[in-house]
Chains A and B, each alone.
Chain A
């Protein structure tokens, strides 16, 4: 291992100012992520998970502290930190293929030939099993398929860190399970470094190497970090009765529903 962590979120604060009122959303967040690690952030709605992800993506500026990727500070967005947004955010006037191709053309304009860029686009669509729908428009495919394309677009940028903001949040349980399996398979094959936001305890335990639990806002902090010592590849069915799995699940549930019960949701 190198002397410094691959991705480091270093004493980051974030507050929003609207008019004269300042709301502190995140307080003193410090987190290190190693290469190829899969880290989930879990917390109640509104605690600042998306804000944290946007800080890492560079879409929002930090109020204090810094985000370091390979020991270099990142201040602006870039394809080395590709984001899959909760609501897919595909461009509706482009076909599935062109949505991915836009990213490929932009990132590899100098390094890949036309043919190579086409092949790379198709390769990433095949990776998420969406090659068959390449000529469809986003409006013509299902929510799960849109997320697959969003994932393909993010993967096609060959990001150093893949940022997923509740990528399966809007999907039905069955589609969600399929997508989780796909993401696990891709992570197993490519070894991406992933930072994923979720509010689903099972999803967090199934996919992650570590689970970062956040306290409720305002001024949310990292409450606890849990290691998930389950071997990969993981099988959903086999894990359902696995004692380690159940113990991890229990820990997260306890954190969320006993120690940091979400008052407003009652």
Chain B
């Protein structure tokens, strides 16, 4: 299933300066993720999992080293270029869903399309398709507060998918859900990986969740301590 390298981190260092102290999160880290992979990232709190996602998603820049995506450098882009790059290539899924409480499910899902040149009718068609895909076609006009956590996360997945990005980044996507709902969401992510070829990087504390991935990376003290291939 997996193919050419989609993301490549080479000699990436990340340091935060806090007053007089410099915290080194990564020191010359290397990582390759092939297209079509589904990677779970585990590790203790503070080990840099979220920081890694930020680097992969072009939200944060490395202090040193290079990041390539689909053969092109990401770490050299300006803030505005990064925003456009994110809009086309990356879908984000958060622990707390991060839907806009004042917008309906359909309007939430539509948000990334507002950055494209699609017209109103085309946007509507795509939003309907994405909501059907996550099984919420009849909930289009509902507001987030009228939906369960699992349903909200499915709306968030539809939003992440709508502009057909190659990469999905998930930070604890089931951290706020009960077991059954978590399994539904994880099964959906696995489906997206297997059927639609989405490359997924998922941070999780839950070993059960990690089982849905093809492989798990353990992050500790700025290093991947173990790589295991699951599928």
Do A and B bind?
Answer: no
Chain B residues packing against A (C-beta within 8 Å): none
Chain A residues packing against B (C-beta within 8 Å): none
